[in-house]
Amino acid sequence: MTIKRPSVGEGARSLLVEAEAHYREALEDFLAVKLYLKDRDDLAEAEIKQKAAEYRRATQTLFDERKRLEDHLKRLEGIAREYALDFDAVRAEIGGRLDRLRAAGGAGEVPG
């Protein structure tokens, strides 16, 4: 029995590239807002602290979403802990080893 997974196509990769560009643009916008708030003299200190906290939360959310998308695409590609398992190569290696055992044993078939 052969199990086939659908491959991750260019659509998923283009989604990641598009999301990266969107995240980068949003991060630049957040930085512009941060610099704008830093230069303001007419805001109360409490308001500046509140806006800074909102900025940090928004930035963290952005990074969390980026990480979530990367993890999802890795799962789709079969990558676990930064490594992808090539089951076809594993199957071929096991088959080759069994063939060598059969040839070396000369007893016919390997039980199992």
- Cβ atoms of 97 and 105 within 8 Å: the answer is no
Q: Are residues 15 and 56 in the same domain?
A: yes
Whether the pLDDT of residue 112 is over 70: the answer is no
Give domain status of residue 5, yes or no.
Answer: no
Kind of pairing between the strands at 79-80 and 83-84: antiparallel
Give domain status of residue 4, yes or no.
Answer: no
Give the domain extent around 91.
83-112
Banded model confidence at residue 78, pLDDT cuts 50, 70, 90: low
Q: Are residues 53 and 93 in the same domain?
A: no
Q: Distance between CA 112 and CA 106 in Å, rounded?
A: 16
Instruction: Please state the pTM of the whole predicted model.
Output: 0.49
Helix (H, G, I), strand (E, B) or coil at 106: coil
Q: Are residues 22 and 62 in the same domain?
A: yes
Banded model confidence at residue 94, pLDDT cuts 50, 70, 90: very high
pLDDT of residue 4: 43
Q: Distance between CA 38 and CA 16 in Å, rounded?
A: 32
Banded model confidence at residue 2, pLDDT cuts 50, 70, 90: very low
Q: Distance between CA 21 and CA 27 in Å, rounded?
A: 10
